[in-house]
Structure 1
Amino acid sequence: MDYRGMQMPRGFPPPQMQGRMGEGMMNQQRDMMGGNMMNQPPPGAMMNPQMMPEHFNPNQMEGYFPGAAQGLTEYHDLTSVLVDGGDRFGVSALTFDKQDLLWMGNSGGHVTGYYGLEMQKYTSFQVHMTEDIRQMIPIQRGILSLTRSTLNCSLRRGLSLFNYKSPCMQEMQCMIMTSPNTVLMGGHQTKVLQLDIEGMREIRQVDVPEPGCAIFRSSNKYICAGDTSGKVRLYDPATLRAEHVLDAHNGTLSDFDLQGNLLVTCGFSARQNQMTVDRFLMVYDMRVMRAMAPIQIIIDPMFLRFVHIYSNKLMIVSQAGQFQIIDTNSLAPTPLSMQPVNTHGSFITSFDISETCHVLAFGDSGGYLHEFASGEHPVFNTFPQPTEFADPTEQLQFMHINDEMTPYSVIPMCYPENGKMLSDWPDHLAQNVYRKPMPVDNEILRSMKVQHNVGYAKLPQGSGIGVNQIPYNIGNDKKGSKKGKSVPESPIGRGEDPFVVVPKRYQKVDLKYSKLGLEDFDFRHYNKTHFAGLETGIPNAYCNCMLQVLYYIEPLRVALLNHLCKKEFCLSCELGFLFHMLDSQKGQTCQATNFLRAFRTIPEASALGLVLSENEENESRINLLRLIQSWSRFIFHQVHSEAGKKVLVEDCKKVEEAAADEAEDQKADKDDKPSTAESTPPKSKKKKKKKGKKKGKDQADDDKSDGKREDDEEKDKESISPDQSVNLEEERSCTSVF
């Protein structure tokens, strides 16, 4: 068979070595690998399943790995699938992932992931257009794929993260992870590269002897590298310096593996100037670096792996399509027991075993992937990582074509990203027309008063429009109308009748309490939501509407909930407590009693007429619109003065310290020179006090609240010390800046 069109296994001699072997040796090698093998065991010995339990007893291995020994000696064919591109390219690399995924790379540079035992296709993407995939390693970020001259890292979903190339990467063949972020790459060349995959930089380059590296394995102390000359070199992981050399085969090396203190190799030997498969497995003790007794097998070994859940089990795979499990500690000859892989005449080119050793994966040159499993419930990993899947597509509601009741609005509208829909009118045939506002009566404009950029006016009598109402015109059919009967346009249009029908949902509900009061009343009958309400049966309950508005202003609510001071009657503290009650009630009714009690104690609120008695509130002559506007302005000013003072003191801390220093300097000067204030007799102070009172009284005629405030400030001036006066002036300056 001509091997130029087939993917060579890792242990097959590289092209530069094939010319040195001679034509006769290459022809014999092709004949042997093509199926004309000598000393092939009889078919009965290959297919007899009764020979397997005699050599392997699963019950004896339960102490090593409980529950995992069941059925390991009897693998059965689970499934076989044709991989992507299998009609043109063979499978060149296989590896199991920690996310219950099996990754396959073919000789056409394509990578495909399969999920679970059913081999469902997970993702498929192209890594290189011309070069074959020679090895793959799953990492935390994704999957590393090595080709002849590049190293590619892709997400498990298929998106490429980076593609690394270097002039030193000429004939790469193998790689191994030396740390979670560094990878060591080698091949049929004299340069070995260590790469940092996070920073995308080469850490170092190490020279290795000819013919390079074909296989990498690692142990606790060494990094083992096998080459095509039949040798295995043991390198120090820190310095990458060769410590030991094991001359395993005099031909070439096909595969090797190690577990604990044992290193086992398989390969080819040169006999009579011809390359033949060596049916002896070379065994080395890593403690003393010496060869032990070789193990003779009945098949031509090409791949081998330790069954790591046992301490002495080794799996051998031939390229012709058989695999066998042997005991490395047994002194007796290996029994003639093996299992076939139905490759339909193709060669096994890749092999891997899962973490639990329940599943085996074989790839052949015909593009097929074969999966074998053991036990009743085989799994890839004992504790698998969660696998990320694509978001499920939303299923549309089924609608029959003859269904006339289902609206077309249940079908989502798909708007084009570029361009317009077919139902859109062209620009030259369409124009934007806005609805004209209703004209305002001239009488309203004439009597309107503007305050804070908002105009207020009283509706004139006979305008036909009530508060928050507009007429709803219903066109009467002239043909169907009868003479002498007319339907008014609205209740307001009935002559002088001022009665307006209020809908039931907006009418005031009269609450009738029992002897227990609020505790016995079922508020959930009227409020079935989680939004809390305020009790209206207490004095000054007209504030409830604005309290609800302030509660839904999130920045204000957060600021008041975090406010706390030592003032006895603080509206900001009471508002914060009330908002906390509204948050925690979840639909129950709250009372603003504490807030209203503090509100009644403020003199400015009483002076502005915001505090109503029970008799005044029941009268209908109170202008609630103007009252609630005055209440809003007062509350905003009061909250600003209470909640903002603490912030101002903190922000002006440095200014106060500077003012205190200046006050101390002034006090020192006053000690040296008596001030004019000390020479003034007490009688003059009383006159100043009376002048201040008289002046405040004259100003109170224009604005009562402002005059009272200035009078209080004048009193405070006389009662504070000079250094406190300086601090007060500084605080006022900070307040004006804020």
Structure 2
Amino acid sequence: MGYTPSQVIPPAAATPFDPAPYPTALSFDPYADLLLVGSSSGTVTSYCSAVSLERHAVYCAHGSKGFGTYSTMRMGFGAGEVRQLKVVDKEIWSLTEGGLAGAKRGGLVRWTVSDPLFALRTFDSNPLNSHEIVAGGTGARLTIVNTSQGKVAKNVDQPHSLSHIFTLPRSILTGSPSGLLQILDPRQNYRQVSVLSAPSSQTGGLTGVDVQGDLVAAWGWNVLQGQPTPSSTVSLYDLRTSRMLPPVNFDQGVSWAKLDPHKPSSIVVASSSGFIDVLDTNEDENSRSDSAENGVQLDIDQYVTALAISPRGDYLAVGDSLGQVQLLTSHDISAESDLVGVDGMLHLPPLNGHDNGTKVEWPDLPMPVPDVKWANRTPLNVIGMPFYDTPLLSNFAPADYATASSPLFNPSKPIPSAVLANMRIIDGVGYAPLPRDMKGKRNVVCEDSSANLISADSGPHGIMGRGKLALRKESGPKFRSERNRRGAAEVLDDEASGLTGLTNGPSMPKHYRKVEIKYSKFGVESLFPRFYNKTQHSGLETHISNSYTNSLLQAYHYTLPFRACAKAHLAIDCPKEHCMLCESGFLFRMLEDAKGINCQASNFSRAFSATSQAHALGLFVPESEAKKKDFAALIQKFNRWFTNTVAAEDAPTGRGSDSHRNTPPNGSGTTSSLITRVLALKGRTDNACSLCGQSVFKEFSAHVVDMLYPRKSTGTSLGDEGCFASILQNSLTRETTTKTNCTNCSRLTTFTSRRRYGTDMLGNEVRRFPPVLSINASIISDEHLEVWRDTPLARSKHGRKRFLPDGVRIRLGEGGDVQVYDDNDSSPSQPQDMRYIVRAFVASIQEHESDEAHLVAFVRAPNDTDASTSHDQPRWLLFNDFLVKEVSADEALSCAPAWKSPALVVLERIGTEDVLDLEGLPKQIDPTILVRDSLISGRRNRQQIKHTCLDLDEIPSPGTLVAIDAEFIALQLEELEIRSDGTKNVLRPTKMSLARVSVLRGDGARESLPFIDDYIHTSEPVVDYLTEFSGIKEGDLNPSTSIHTLVPLKVAYKKLRTLVDLGCVFVGHGLPKDFRTINIFVPPTQVIDTVAIFYDPSRHRRLSLRFLSWFLLKQDIQTAEHDSIEDARCALQLYKKYQTFVQENRFEDVLEDIYDAGQRLVSADMARNTFVALTSVDRYNPGLQTSSNERSGTCRQLANLTGATDARETVYSEEPARSAGRARAEYCRVSYAASTLCRQRLR
């Protein structure tokens, strides 16, 4: 069988990274009619059809999955040449210098794995796992890549470098550059199981290997007179016997060889110059004919760079160094061939060898552009979009058509089994009598379509089970700007019905659904909070990373002992930069002050993201994996890590003030952290031998209790063992049995392990139970979840009993045994009983399996009377992120709905003051932090110090006036969605971070002198320093290069928190937005915003600080870059001016003059645009010349409005003597100068 040249693919176009790209890897798609060509420029091109070789797709082999910032490495153009291609069922795998990647046939990259060492040379699939790739190279190791996750699964060290890898049925074959061929077993961690001897003639090393069935072909180099030359033989090996077969000779020198997949006894060999021949491996040396007589010489000027054979062996692709790819075929393509049709056209078989393969998809043809007659005077509005004043036919609510009676959108109800039991089939039709208990009104449909959503609709096949057809109305305006455009009656109606009660169908209440912030053009500040929260308790927003922790933070915030400890920790000098307990204290203080206004845990999230241990535990949730996460299990994992972390951070270190640390009740004198004393369960674990009775004691300490459920016997119920008190008791004692050898009696016996509380290893009383018990639900099976479901009462048809009670009683018996009783238990209480109430309950909400789960927190309001003598009903609050709603106790603690799953419970002990003196804890930060000058930069330039710290006698008191301004940098740019009509939808706003904050004295002898001018250390990547607006340059926030006063964010925040607690009044321009970005809440009574002072609501325009300074202070600020000290000083001076105007009773007149001046500047800018338009008409349309009077009038208006009297007099006095062209140039000069002045003053 010989090959005949058929088609030639011309060289690819030059790229900026490779001026002359050439093919480096070729592969035939075994599933589709495609030929893949990998080039030296890092691109993969697919060609369709053996007849036409029409280009199908071009993409970067090591491309990017998303549409992020363009860069050479992300787009693949810096990843180097394509080294290998392999096509599987749904993907194309490629190997470049940059690493591995998988893409769809259309070119969409699905995953990439980078190789920072550029060491990978070859790869193939794992024979035991189709979703794994085994890759190797010069690094002397195997890299296992998981294609489903797109990341490296593991690395296995190898003694040799690898140049070739091939997949065998249960093992892999590897070849090294030295010539070693070996077989590795993946089941034995890729250990060597057999070795194929290297060819003795290939002294220069191995260059190529191919495998088909049980036959292995290998070729390499020979060294002749010190120069490497291609070997003239191809070595053959039998995998069944691991023996070498007689080699195949090829006198022209073997540079490439491929075993025929359709006929393994045939081998295609090629020389570097393009001579190709087909040899039979079964023939002996004497029976083979001369290669020079039967081979074919390709038209190649230089050398062959790549070669591939089709799955059926009927096509051969050869690439050369000049960039072209030649396609050869074994079919007869002469004019007399049977493949020539009646139309005279050649019809070759597909490249993959069969017609029923994967269909090649092509892009949709673009819609033809309408023909528009265009002329010089054709207005642009002739090409416009239609205006729809009524909804389109395709835009109507599912409630209008997808009712319960619709056979198109709902499956029919199943026929009851009672009917089918008595059914008889006659002539293919079933007949059955209607049972007596089913008689009545049937097949009744309500007129209200929303009431037709019967229980069947909520299933996976009903309309409520499909997200796109679910009847979820967006209720009410979410933004202040939107409220202004809607009628008051409509707004009140939306607020009254938006988030209250159940829907008409069987779905969960609206207030349990996942809430997301929808950003308007004014940002998140335009969000109308009272639509989601009508209480005085603040919620937490979700537009930050890892916001799943909001529910647990709310639970601990309303747990008074934990909150008090976190706030007390702020009083000490904590040296840790990213302290979780400090950030918790700051967050709790902000939630206390906000009084129902939304807050965000951005600083807490920032400290959390900087913790390497949390990253190693998998506590971070990328947005792409949010739908796959089990948040109930994740929040329990986070709870365990969080409590251990804050306990370690609060441990005594000998620094700062320790006045808030109490000694234990037994007076032992040993100190421990407050958090440990609030949360930790301490005792001993007894391990007793069942034969000799020897006991081994071991102390333990746990901050979290994991629920331990009893095993359910077949056909029986848990009974009393399944109540919350009983399970909690078993979880506290954790009695387990294990079999092991006893060291005392030296026999194999059963050891019983049991926890005991209140005593140490010596039997001495240590302490009582902690004030707070944090309990993880630990649900790992459906049986555990069923325990939490409500059970029907024995003597009631409608009443149900909750699993989670309002509280429990814990009793410590002799020997440290624990007994737990339900708070409503009839057993008599004893004086030593410790009563705990359920303070918080965190649950996971997921209505359908396809929906993304989220967490909510139910919190018992802490201002309730928790004494046992109180009969008042407790107030329960639902915290669904920033949606806060008051609910009943039954709704909060019940787990009856299938969409509600428990995650964790927080129990708080009544009478905590008997165990821990919370009133004695410090509640304020030491104000001397304002006196100390702290920094972390060792290269501060003294000439750059612009502030003077406060003296002790300058410590602020309530009402002290201070001026403040802050500068920010961008850590992440905003994500926009551009709609088809050109409007923009903000998916996520710009992530800003505090970069500099300056605080000035507001009065006194040193008024306007800064006492805080801190630059904030930022370790996160900065995408934009916003130097034009912030004045921050690269290197200003780096401790090794900064010449300014650089401090950690926590230190700067602590100073501001101190000023707020001291009652200072802040003066600034645009302070609400600055405080929000800083993540601190300042009561409105302590904020004086010059934006709000100099604002006239009837003008609908807010004035900039630069314009106010120019008009009132006669100062030009922000001429080059923004300076926070300059801006704060100007805001303070503006406030002083405001006070003067108010005292003189002329502020309203001044405000009117300010707006009139601004209006004149706006009109001047509009006049400039008009003048430029007139000048453009004169220049480009000579037939439409404007009159001299028209131009002069516009110029006079422009000069009058801007006060440019000198320019006005010069232009008008010389205008008659000037030519038209010279005057027009003078007009342009005046207009541009005036416009520049207008724009500067309006900024």
Please report the TM-score for the alignment, with normalisation by the length of structure 2: 0.28
Please report the TM-score for the alignment, with normalisation by the length of structure 1: 0.45
Q: Which has the larger radius of gyration?
A: 1
